[in-house]
Amino acid sequence: MTAVVAVVGSANLDVVVSTPRRPAGGETLTGTALLETPGGKGANQAIASAAVGATALIGEVGADSAGRRIREALTAADVDISRMRMGPLPTGRAYITLTPDGENSIVVLPLANGALDSEHVSSALGALNPAVVLTQLEVPMEVVEAVAAWCATVGARFVLNPSPIGPLPDAVLRAADPVIVNQGEAQALLGTDSTDWHDLARRLGGLARSAVVTAGSQGAVVAEADGEATVPGHAVEVVDTTGAGDAFAGTLAAHLAAGASLADAARAANATAAQTVQRARSER
C-alpha cells in the first residue's frame, strides 16, 4: 500500500481506570472499571486517518505482548505498519483516569516511543513518500524536527499536533500547515492567558503557515494567510473524551491529503471527534 498520509508518533498500551471523580492530592480512590486497549497519539491518529485514506504509522513498540497487540490492532484498522520498529525497550504506556462526565486525566510513560530516532524516520518517510505527514510530541523532539525538515525538502504537507504541549522550536512551528491545538495548548504556545479562541487562531496563524484551534462542542477556528473560518460545533452527549483530539487530527490530515480545503477538512474532523466522544473506548 502506498501511504497518502504518514503519521509519525507514539503507540501505547492505554490503561484506563474509571473513577467516580478525580482523586485529590494524597487521596486514594476505589476505581469502578478497568480497560486495557491499544492507544497512543500516533496510533490513534493513524487509525482515524486510515478510516479515510491510505495511512502508515512510523513509530516504535517493544517486542512484548503489548507491542504485538498494538500491531494487530493497527493492521486490523488497515494501517500500514511496515515502517514500525520493534525495539528492546518495553512498549509505552498511558495511564488514564476517566470520570463519569467523560473527562480524563492522563500520565504517559514513553518507553519504546522515546527510542524512535530521526534516521529511521527520515528513511521511512523516503520509502513511503506520503503527501501529508502528521506528528505530535509523544516522540523525541529531534524526530519532530526531522519530520519538518523532510517535508520542507520534498514539498509534503507538515501537520503538527503539539501535544502534550512543551517547548517547540520556532522552525518547527513555522513549518506547520496547520498546527492543531486546543485553547490551553494555544495559550501555552503563545504565552498568553487570552480565552478568545479566534484571536488565538489568528496569532498562531501568523507564526505557522496555518492554524486550527479547537474548542470541543463549540467547534474550531481555522486561520490561514487569506483569512479565517469558524467551524460549528456539535452538541452531543459526552461519554468519553479520550482520543477525541487524535480522531480530529487524523481525520483532518487524511482529508487534506484527499484535496480538501483546510476549513472543509476541519469540518469533517469535528464531526468525527463528535462521534468519538459519544462512545466508550471499549465500543470503538
∠ at Cα 48 (42, 51), nearest 5°? 135
Give catalytic status of residue 246 as yes or no: yes
The answer to whether 143 and 118 have CB atoms below 8 angstroms apart is yes
Q: How far apart are CA 234 and CA 231, in angstroms?
A: 10
In single-letter form, the type of residue at position 124 comes to A
User: Cα–Cα distances in Å, from 117 out to 13, 101, 133, 142, 250?
Assistant: 20, 38, 16, 7, 22
Q: How far apart are CA 157 and CA 151, in angstroms?
A: 6
133: which strand partners? 6, 158
Q: How far apart are CA 195 and CA 180, in angstroms?
A: 16
- Cα 189 to its chain centre, rounded Å, is 17
Which of 80, 240, 246, 264 is flagged as catalytic? 246
Q: Which residues are catalytically annotated?
A: 246
